[in-house]
A = this chain, B = another copy of it.
Amino acid sequence: MSRLVKKRSKKIGLAPGTLVHLGTPRPGSTAVELIEYGADHLEQRKLDSLLQCSLPKPAPSVTWINVEGVSQVEVLQHFGECFKIHPLVLEDILATDQRPKAEDYGEYLYVVLKMLRLNEASGQLQAEQMSIVLGENFLISFQEGLEGDVFEPVRLRLKNDKGRLRQTGPDYLLHALLDLIVDNYFLILEKIAERMETLEDELIANPDEGTVQAIYQMKREMLFLHKAVWPLREVVGRLQRRESPLILEENIIYLRDLYDHTVQVVDTMETLRDMLSGMLDIYLTSVSNRLNQVMKVLTIIATIFMPLSFIVGLYGMNFKHMPELEWRYGYPAVLIFMAVVVAGMLYYFRKKRWF
């Protein structure tokens, strides 16, 4: 997972709209992919990132341009000029710690959010910022630059099936992309829930300091998720209230469905957070309990052996005149007396339910 706070300070004092990439540049150079489609045609090709500017085909044809990698500032500048995107938007695309938001610029809509994935090899959570510019007949998606994305199923649906996705405008494509991103949040939450359950079992069976570390680690991950997901709810909420005419009336129903999923993600996340904080309480309780256990063992041992040691010490004294020492059965008498003391102690502890 990326750091919770990024180095925004290197932008101090720059004019708004100055393009500066924020965060570590992801490996690999910018790749641009273009898919142009309509009800009866589809064309997919790779673009040279700095090709001359050619406007997308008019509606009802839809052009989807997917840009992978934003660390090359000149590519962004090129897109800005070509599609008349405001420098403030370009700046936000480059600032990879953007809070999810949707902004209406009249000619186009700007949406930014986090795309989360699980690295299949290491099982680690990876976040990539996704910026989407939605125009009347085009959609441009800018990915922060982590290789690959979660959009493969949309590409397949575009190619294979000629349903709604091929027949309506780019706003439905926007829905499809957002839906995939949100679906992947469910996957992340499932994985976290699984780890949480493992942790829970560990907590009950054999908790140690590693367990606390793990709880704390998950708390941090939940904080990161919270930052990514909480504002998204508002973003999708605004889209489904159709605050921009770029969203068609007929597609609202799908955005409402998406909103429903987003709310469910937030809800699940809150439930997991509640469970986490409950787990720390349980841990603390169990530590206290074990301390009690240890102290009882110590007290039982001390309470039994201290009096015994006193007694044997007593008859280890070197006084000249100690009549008991001379008795024929002094030794066995002392042994029996000590056995009685021990029995009394054990009875007392048993009555107090100490073991």
Contacts and interface: CB of A to CB of B under 8 A. Distances in A.
> DSSP majority for the A interface?
helix
A125 interface: no
A329 to B, nearest CB: 8
B267 A99 contact: yes
A106 B97 CA distance: 38
A9 B212 contact: no
Copies held by the complex: 5
A253 interface: yes
A248 interface: no
A278 interface: yes
Contacts of A306: 301-302, 305-306, 309
Nearest to A301: B303
Given A4-B193, A271-B4, A331-B317, A297 B287 contact: no
Interface string A298-331: 1101110111111011111111111011111111
A241 interface: no
Contacts of A314: 312
Interface stretch (A24-32, A65-73, A254-262): A254-262
A287 B288 contact: yes
Contact of A99 (B260, B272, B313, B320): B260
A314 B332 CA distance: 12
Given A292-B290, A302-B298, A317 B316 contact: yes
Contact of A313 (B88, B175, B282, B309): B309
Interface residues of A, number: 117
Contacts of A219: 278
A53 interface: no
Given A291-B288, A294-B292, A312-B310, A15 B271 contact: no
A8 B186 contact: yes
B298 A303 contact: yes
A196 to B, nearest CB: 9
Interface string A153-180: 1101100010111000000000110011
Interface of A: 3-5, 7-9, 11-16, 86, 88, 91-92, 97-99, 101, 103, 150, 152-154, 156-157, 161, 163-165, 175-176, 179-180, 183-184, 186-187, 189-190, 193, 204, 206, 209, 212-213, 216, 219-220, 223, 227, 231, 253-254, 256-257, 260, 263-264, 267-268, 271-272, 274-275, 278, 280-292, 294-299, 301-303, 305-310, 312-322, 324-331, 334, 353-354
20 contacts: A5-B189, A8-B190, A12-B150, A12-B153, A15-B176, A91-B257, A204-B213, A219-B278, A220-B275, A227-B267, A280-B285, A285-B287, A288-B288, A298-B299, A298-B302, A302-B302, A315-B318, A315-B319, A316-B317, A321-B327
